[in-house]
Structures are given as structure tokens and as C-alpha cells.
Amino acid sequence: MVTARDHEIFSCTSEMAATCAVFDWSTTCLGPVDGWSQGLQTATAILLRSGFPMCLSWGEDLVLLYNDAFIPTLGAKHPTALGAEIAVVFAEIWDQVGPLQRSVLSGGDAVFHEQLPLVLERGSGPEERFFTFSYSHVPDVGRGGGPGGVLAVVSDSTRAVVGARRMGLLRTLATATSEVTDRRVAATTSLSVLSDASSELDHGACYLPGADRRLDLAGSFGAGRTWPESIDPGADEAVERVQASGRALVETLPKTHDGARVRVSVPLRVGSPDPGVLVLAPHPLRPLDERHHRFLRLVADHVGQVLAVASARADEQTRLALLAAADRAKSTFLSNISHEFRTPLTLLLGPLEEALGDGRPLDPTDLTSMHQSAQRLLGMVDALLAAAQGDASPRPAAPEAVDVVGLSDGLLQPFRDAADRAGLALSIRLDPALPIVELDPGLWETIVLNLVANALKYTMEGRVEVVLGAHDGALVLQVRDTGIGIAADEQARVFERFHRVAGPAGRTIEGVGLGLALVTDAVHAHGGTVSLTSTPGEGSTFVVSLPLVEAAASATARVRFDAAAAAALAGHAVPADAVPAVVDHDHPGPFVVVVDDNAGMRHHLVRSLSGLGHVVACVDGVEALALLRRRKPDLVVTDVTMPRLDGIGLLREIRADPDLAATPVVLLSARAGGDAATQALDTGADDYVVKPFTRDELVARCRTTIELAALRASRSAEAARATMLAGISHDMQTPVSVVSASLQMLRDADLDAEQRRELLRRASSRTAQLAQLVAQFLDWSRLSAGVEIAPRAEHVHLAELLDAVAREHDRARLSATAASSTRVVVCDRARTERILHNLLDNARVAARERLLVEVVELDRQVEVHVVDDGPGVDDRVRPWLFAAFGPPGRITGTGLGLHVSRAAARAQGGDLVLADTGPSGSRFVLRLPSAGA
């Protein structure tokens, strides 16, 4: 008998051939090899010699034979799988592949599947693998009757499939985060990409280095887990190991029915000294082999890179923003500097150039102002130098023995006057018990002068307190004020160089913003501290604390200081001479108003322009506007930068007021350059003069401006006159034609009595109308020639007057109060009638149905109200209602009525106003003085 060992089938060199050769096949349904059918023998021979993974399941029981290449697919099931029933060997996938095998076995078509996922058990837990395989039927050739078997040719595509998925994930990580410039966003975006790859990763979290070397949770994915918000590596051994070793750490997780089996913590290099940690739990069906480890490290590398790049980009943006801010600050500073220098320069150059030109000696008053200006320039230059030096190498303190009380007292003298001028109480309490101390007197001067000057500058009313004393071994200076205060978000910044707080200014807005920065430098040079508390609207307190070092008893103490510097600072904190402007009405020549917040400049302007006419000075736009409304000027010359209302603001107010709109305005500014000039001219300035300017230049340009304005005025006056005359003749035509035609017919025609009566009545009424028009025109002529209307003062019974007037207007009704009033008024009867006719004519045109005359009796006056229910006065027309010619484009009527009526009403001691107007009507009120008490 031929044993299996010797059988030709098994005579090839493979492990399975050898195993099959010694296998006791009689223990299986196949029986001994001798009894095998031809088909089985051939199939087995092919199987054992093939290098491609194959297995053969034979017979009704589907007994399994397989080759070497198939062994990996079995894993731990080899070698006991040989000769066993395939349904048992692959029990875990039998419900998927079993039906396929059975169908092939019973003669069905061959089966082919590509990358079919199957969860196999190969001895280390379930794994998902992807198989590309074919099942084909092997007939039971040579025996007949048996079902034969199924040949499976199998290729494990798992590596390709999972590999492709992993590559896809890494690619998505890169593209999803390519534009991110924020680390947080980078972390959450990355985690969301990882979350989408749920077939590969079950859950995970990202920890980034935070404060105190802790790791903070930046995000997580995968539901149903809680992660600590922050980990202390010192306390967490696993994390510490990951960070220190730079290698991944694998933990086995407690078994849950659906949970991951392992968790891997990988170091995350994000460009900071300490790495973060990326924790990933792979999908339970992916075994953690070397490839998998490499993949997880790649994921961590990618995520780390994304985070590092995002951080770098964010830093870059911050840097750019800071550079831009610094650039802007520099430009603002340079602009301010230029501006601050120009005013004192004008005050120096002006008088000097005059003196050089005229050959006359300088005026003594000019000398004082020039000296002050020069001091101011010097002060600014010193401050700038100190600031520049402070930036480069902070000046160290050079302490001397100083009588700090005496020195401070002397420094504060000019501030007493300044406080008086400002109407503030200045309280100075210097502790006389303070000893002679070691102090740098120059730096001390800087500290005291700047803090007190600021306090005065920014306090409009109330008090400033200066307290100097010793406290716990420190020399403490407190400067407290009841001023405008500093907002919380500005308090840190006020000590910065060149920082000026935006918002309500102090008494003057001169200054470049160095004061407090210099104070800070001086304080720090002594090793001291400066602090600020402030409440906007209530006040501020600055506290300087320096180490108190007593000087040696024998040292001579210094009290000398620079009085001029102190005086200059005090003078600029509270500008001198806020004397209100006095207007001389009898002065001949043009009335010129100059506006500037700098006292020296005001003086200079008044003197320079005194040759033009009567010149009056104001300190700012608000004061100027009030003055302009009392008396119309022929010229306004104004600085641009002033507190409360600046030059541009003043110009706008002037142009918006119909009474003042045509006033010539010249702007003086320290801002040179086309843009500033264009803006000024666009806003309506007549001219724009840049500081420094000479007296001659200023005078010439002002004179030209006045002349041009006069020319424009006379042209527009002529145009207005022409329009007015056209209007007058138009208004007169209808009455004239009625009167003329009536008279002619009365003379020529044969008319009946009724017709004659009617003609006469109408002709009389229109004649009266003509008389009124003429009288109105005469009054207007007086007004425009500057002659006052001189009304008569007659005692007139009001009710009777109203009745007489109302009769002539058929729709007008008197109210009960009007009809029954017993008041007597003092007025010019004819003019008052004209005013009332004017109001009633207007009302009749406007009214829909109602035209009512009411009377309101007051103490010393009586009000006559003319009320209509018309559509009201249009908003655009309203500002022009009482003006002489009304808005442009008006062609009907003279436009004079209300203008003359109001002037007449005022001339007789009353007024005429539009009390109310709207879509349901208008109410005009004529006020008349009442006779008697």
C-alpha cells in the first residue's frame, strides 16, 4: 500500500505538503489518500504547489486543505485548521462566506469579490481585514456522485485599503488646516478631521502646553468620554514619560463591549520647549502593529506641524499689528511736534520780521511774549531730548543733599497764580518735619512740575491738592485733583511716551504727551514707584513714592531751581488772560473777530490786524460763536486747534446759520499740506494761512478776503434787489389791473347798481392791498439801508383791530377770546394791520378749511395767534422763513412779507414767530406790548 507519505500529491517542498503527507486523513471525511477522487487529488496537488494563497474545502462537510501562502490568513488557527470543517475554522465569518461556498458547491457560478471586509479572529482579537477572492467549483471528477469542493483563491488587500485610508487622512489634515492662523482653531480643525476618520480612529484628545508647565485640553473627539481639562505632568507618570522620552506610550484599556482596546499617547511637537500630547485610540478592529504605530506618529507629526505653523502665523500677525501701531504713533507724534513748534515760532518770527522790515526796535510787550515762546520751545526740546535719552540709556539719578520742602515750595509758586486764574483751589501741604534728603533735584523738579501742571490742566472746577510727607521710610508725594479723570482702559497707557488720551481735552490741548513718561523715568531712576487711581468725571490721584534717604547732617542743602521752566509750565497749564471780548460799537471800519486758545497768539493777531478795523479776540469757538450772534462781523480769523469748539467746527456753525452764513472766515493752522488746505476750503473757509506767517502776509490776505466778500455781497444784493423788484411788480399787477379796469368801466359803461357797488367794493379793497404792498416795500428799503423802522406808539383796542382785519379775509374767524378781549395794546396801528393781513393772506393760501385768530393774554404782552390747518411749512423752507429773500428758486411773491413783518413787530417791542408747524397746520404768533400794567 502506498502511504500518504509517498504519494505524488505531496511530493513538493512546502511546509503544508510535508504536514499533509503525515496527516492521518482517515480521521476526516475525506478518508485515506488512496481513496481520494481524481478531482481532489489534482486540486490538492495544485493547491500545495501554488505560491498564491489558496484553500480547498472538499465534500459535503467542506473539509479544509490549504497551502503555505494561506497560513497568515489562519493565524493561530494553523495547523489545527488542516482537515477541519471550514465552517468551524471560519465560524466568525461563516454567515458571510458560508452561503457563497454552499452555492458554488452546489454547482452555482463562481464568485469573485474585491476588498470585502471581514472580521477575522486570528488569535489576537477580532480584526477587520479586506479580501479579494474567488470561489470556484472543483467537480468530483473520477468518482461521480460527490459534490466536489470549493477552491478559494484569496488575496489579503487589507494593507492597501487601510494604507489608502491613512494616506487620505493625513492629506486631509494638511489641506484642512493650510490657511489657519490661530492655534486653537488649528487644534479644533485637526481634531475634527481625525473625528471624521472614525473607521480608523475611535476617539482621542489633544493637550497643549499651557501655564505653569501644565498641559491644557485643546479639544477631543469621539463621544462618550470625559477628559481632564488640564494635566500636571509632574503628577501624571504616563504623560511625563511620553514628554521625557519623546516616544509613544501604549496603554491597554479596560474591556468594554464596544470600546477601543488600546490607547496610544504620542508627543506633539508644536514649536514650544515642552511638547504637547496627542492621545489616540485606534479603531478596535485595527491591530496595533508596527505600521499602525508609524501611522499614529505621522498623525502626531502632522498635527504638531499644523499647530506650530498656526502659532508662527499668529505671532507674525501680532508683530505686524504692533509695527503698524508704532508707525501710526510715530506719524501722529511727528505731526504733533510740528504743530506744537509752529505757534511759538510764529510769535518769535512775527515780531522779529516786523522789526527787521520796519527798522524799528522791538516793542517791549513783544519781548515778553517772544521770551515765553522761546522758553516754551526750549522746554519742548529738553523734554524730547530727555525722552530720547531715556529710551537709549535711562539717566541715572545724581543725588545731592536737597531741602525737599524748600525746593518744592519754590517750584509750586507759579502754580498758585495759575490756580487763581483757573478759579481752582490749590492746597499745598509740605510736611515741615521732613529732613534734608538725598535726591536728584533736576529729576524731582520734573516730577513735581509735570504732575501739578497736569492736575491744573485737566481740572475745570474744584481743587488740586499737593501733599508731601514721609511714610514707612518712603518720601511720598500725592497730587490729587477733582478733574475730568482718566478712563480705566487708558490708565495703564497714560505713562507711555507720546500717548495722548483721546476725548475731552483739558483747558488747552497744547503738549506732546511726554510729561508723565518723564515722571515715570525720573521716579524709576530713584528706585521709586508711581501709581494712579482715577474715576472719570470725579478726579485723579497720582502717588509717587521714593526711598527716603536722609542726607548727612553737615551737608549744605540745595534749593536752587529753574524758575522760568516752572513758570512756563504753569502758564501753559492755565493760559493767561481769559478776559471776555469787549465790543466797541462806535468803532469805524470792519469788525474783525480773532479766535485762538493761545494768549500770545491772540495778542499778536489783534495787534497785527488793528490796521484793518475794530479787532476783538476770543479764546475758543464757543466764545466766538456767542459773540458773532450778538454782532455780525466783517471777518473771522480763527485758529484750527482749540478746545471745546475748534476752527473747523466754528466754520461749520457759521455756514449753517442763515444770518452768519456769508461771513468771510480765514483759518490759521499749523498743519501744512494740500489735504488740510483742501479740507478747509471744502468746508467753506475763504482762506487758509499756515503758521508761521508774517504780519504783512496775514494782513494782506485778510484785506483781500474782506474785499472779495464785500464784492460778492454787493453782487448778491443786486441780484436780490432785482428778484425783489420783479416780485413786487408781479404782486402789484393784479391789484392794479383790477382797479384800472374797474375805474374804466365805472366811467364808460352802463352798469346796474349792483354791478357798480361790486366794482367799487373790489376796487377799494385792491387799492388798500396796493397801499400795503407799497408800505411793505418802503419798510424793506429802510431795513436794507440800515435805517431803523420807527414805529408809532398808539393805543389800540385789540379786539376791534382784529375784527377790522378779519373782515377783509372771508374765511378768517375770530375765536371767543379774540372777539371778547378788552386788552389795549401799544403799537403802530397801520403796521400791525399790515402784519396781520400778511399772516392772514399766507394762512388763506395754506389753509384747507380752518383759519382762526386767537388771543392769549399775558402779563405785559398779548399774543395774537393765527392758526391754519394747512400742510405746514416745509423743513427746507423753515430756516429761511423770516429771511429777506427766502431760499433760491422762489419766483412767486416778494418773499418780503414775513421778513418785514417780523422786523416791524420787533421794532414796536414785540415779536413774530412760527410757534408750531406740521402736517396738520401752522401757528404764527404775533406778540404785542400791552398798555398799562
Partner 1 sequence: MRDVDVLVADDDPDIRFVVEIVLRRRGWRVTSAESGAEAVAVLSGDQAFDALVLDQNMPPGSGLEVVEWLRGQGDRTPAVLFTGLVSVLDLAAAEARGVRVLDKVAVEQLPALLDELVGPDGPGGPPSP
Query: How far lies 654's CA from each of 11, 626, 636, 657, in Å?
Result: 118, 11, 10, 5
CB of 859 to partner 1, least distance (A): 42
Q: State the minimum distance, in angstroms, from the CB of residue 705 to partner 1.
A: 35
Asked if 762 interacts with partner 1 (CB under 8 A), we say: yes
Out of 499, 766, 837, 902, name the contact with partner 1 by CB under 8 A: 766
Nearer to partner 1, 783 or 843 (CB): 843
**CB nearer partner 1, residue 748 or residue 859:** 748
Q: Which residues pair with 429 in a beta bridge?
A: 467
Query: DSSP 3-state assignment of 434?
Result: coil
Q: Which residues pair with 267 in a beta bridge?
A: 277
To partner 1, the closest distance from the beta carbon of 763 in angstroms equals 8
Question: Quick one: 713 or 732, whose CB is closer to partner 1?
Answer: 732
Segment contacting partner 1 (CB under 8 A): 311-319, 544-552, 757-765, 876-884? 757-765
Residue 666 near residue 638, CB atoms below 8 Å: yes
Nearer to partner 1, 335 or 729 (CB): 729
Residue type for 387, please?
A: A
CB 384 within 8 A of CB 333: no
Whichever of 244 and 741 has its CB closer to partner 1, that residue is 741
Taking CB under 8 A as the criterion, the residue among 368, 716, 740, 820 binding partner 1 is 740
738 belongs to the binding site for partner 1 (CB under 8 A): yes
Distances, alpha carbon 436 to alpha carbons 411, 429, 642, in Å:
17, 17, 44
Three-class HEC string of 578-613: CCCCCCCCCCCCCEEEEECCCHHHHHHHHHHHCCCC
How many positions of this chain bind partner 1 (CB under 8 A)?
A: 23
Residue 734 within binding range of partner 1, rule CB under 8 A: yes
- Give min distance, CB of 633 to partner 1, in A: 37
Query: Out of 185, 425, 720, 736, which residue is the one contacting partner 1 (CB under 8 A)?
Result: 736
Nearer to partner 1, 502 or 891 (CB): 891
Q: To 5 degrees, how large is the angle CA 366–CA 367–CA 370?
A: 85
Query: In the complex, what is the shortest distance from the CB of residue 685 to partner 1, in angstroms, rounded to a whole number?
Result: 36
Q: Which of 307, 316, 304, 317 is nearest to 183 (CA)?
A: 307
Q: Closest separation between CB of residue 803 and partner 1, Å?
A: 22
CA nearest 828: which of 731, 926, 898, 932? 926
What would the grid cell of residue 245 be?
Answer: 522620552
Stretch of 218-226, 690-698, 758-766, 869-877 lying at the interface with partner 1 (CB under 8 A): 758-766
- Residue 733 near partner 1 by CB under 8 A: yes
Select from 319, 416, 730, 757 the one that contacts partner 1 (CB under 8 A). 730
Is residue 742 close enough to count as binding partner 1 by CB under 8 A? yes
The span from the CA of 41 to the CA of 36, in Å, is 6
Q: Is 920 in the site for partner 1 (CB under 8 A)?
A: no
Helix-helix angle 829-846:753-784, to 10 degrees: 110
Place of cell 502659532: 311
Q: Select 317 or 740, whichever has its Cβ closest to partner 1.
A: 740
Shortest Cβ 780–partner 1 spacing (Å): 20
CB of residue 851 to partner 1, shortest distance in Å = 17
User: Is there binding between residue 892 and partner 1 (CB under 8 A)?
Assistant: yes
Stretch that binds partner 1, among 383-391, 467-475, 756-764, 894-902 (CB under 8 A): 756-764
**Cα 595 from Cα 611, distance rounded (Å):** 17
If one asks whether residue 764 binds partner 1 (CB under 8 A), the answer comes out as: no
| Residue from 627, 759, 773, 896 binding partner 1 (CB under 8 A) | 759
Q: Can you tell me the distance from the alpha carbon of 79 to that of 197, in angstroms, rounded to the nearest whole number?
A: 37
Give the cell for residue 138: 472543483
Closest CA to 927 of 901, 896, 895: 901
The yes or no reply on residue 745 touching partner 1 (CB under 8 A) is yes
Q: Does 765 bind partner 1 (CB under 8 A)?
A: yes
Q: In the beta sheet, which residues pair with residue 426?
A: 464
Does residue 855 touch partner 1 according to CB under 8 A?
no
Q: At what angle do helices 647-656 and 621-630 cross, to 10 degrees?
A: 30
| Residue in the structure block whose three cell numbers are 471776555 | 580
The stretch among 167-175, 575-583, 751-759, 782-790 that binds partner 1 (CB under 8 A) is 751-759
State in angstroms the smallest separation of the CB of 762 from partner 1: 5
Q: How far is the CB of 891 from partner 1 (least distance, A)?
A: 7
| Residue 577: other Cβ atoms inside 10 A | 11
Minimum CB distance to partner 1, residue 901 (Å) = 22
Number of alpha carbons in the 13 Å side-chain half-sphere of residue 850: 15
**Which contiguous run of DSSP H or E holds residue 388?**
helix 364-392
Instruction: Supply 267's cell numbers.
Output: 508627543
| Least distance from partner 1 to the Cβ atom of residue 753, Å | 14
Binding part of the chain for partner 1, among 231-239, 274-282, 296-304, 743-751 by CB under 8 A, reads 743-751
The two counts, helices (H) then strands (E), for the chain are 25, 30
CB of residue 898 vs partner 1: minimum separation in angstroms?
20
Q: E-strand spans in 29-89?
A: 54-58, 63-66
Least Cβ distance, residue 772 to partner 1 (angstroms): 15
What span, in angstroms and rounded, lies between the C-alpha atoms of 631 and 635?
A: 12
Contact set for partner 1, span 690-729 (CB under 8 A): 726, 729
By beta-carbon proximity to partner 1, the closer residue of 582 and 753 is 753
Q: Which is nearer to partner 1, 19 or 767 (CB)?
A: 767
Alpha-carbon 884 to chain mean position: 45
345 Cβ neighbours under 8 A, 6+ residues apart: 373, 377, 691, 692
- Which residues, numbered 264-323, are part of the site for partner 1 (CB under 8 A)? none
Q: Which is nearer to partner 1, 256 or 737 (CB)?
A: 737
Residues 6+ apart with CB under 8 A from 206: 187, 190, 191, 217, 218, 219, 220, 268, 276, 277, 278, 279, 303
Identify which of residues 492 and 749 has a Cβ nearer to partner 1 in the complex. 749
CB of 769 to partner 1, least distance (A): 10
Select the residue interacting with partner 1 from 317, 338, 737, 920 (CB under 8 A): 737
Judged by CB under 8 A, which of 34, 229, 550, 758 binds partner 1? Answer: 758
For partner 1, the closer of residues 26 and 740 by Cβ is 740
**How many of the other CB atoms lie within 10 Å of CB of 488?**
10
- For position 891 contacting partner 1 by CB under 8 A, the verdict is yes
Task: Say if strands 400-402 and 437-439 run parallel, antiparallel, or are unpaired.
Answer: antiparallel
Instruction: Decide whether 102 or 844 has the Cβ nearer to partner 1.
Output: 844
Cβ proximity to partner 1: between 385 and 751 the closer is 751
- CA distances to 485, 506, 517 from 446, rounded to whole Å, are 22, 20, 10
The answer to the question of residue 749 lying near partner 1 (CB under 8 A) is yes
Can residue 610 be called a binding residue for partner 1 (CB under 8 A)? no
Q: Which stretch binds partner 1 (CB under 8 A): 52-60, 564-572, 740-748, 832-840?
A: 740-748
Q: How far is the CB of 742 from partner 1 (least distance, A)?
A: 6
Instruction: Pick one of 106, 256, 338, 744: the residue that binds partner 1 (CB under 8 A).
Output: 744
Of 763, 634, 627, nearest in space to 705 by CA: 634
Q: Which residue, chain included where needed, has cell 436794507?
A: 784
Are 407 and 444 in contact by the 8 Å Cβ rule? The answer is: yes
Residue burial 723-760, b: 16+ Cβ < 10 Å; e: rest: bbeebbeebbeebbebbeebeeeeeeeeeeeeeeeebe
The residues binding partner 1 (CB under 8 A) are 726, 729-730, 733-734, 736-738, 740-742, 744-745, 749, 751, 755, 758-759, 762, 765-766, 891-892
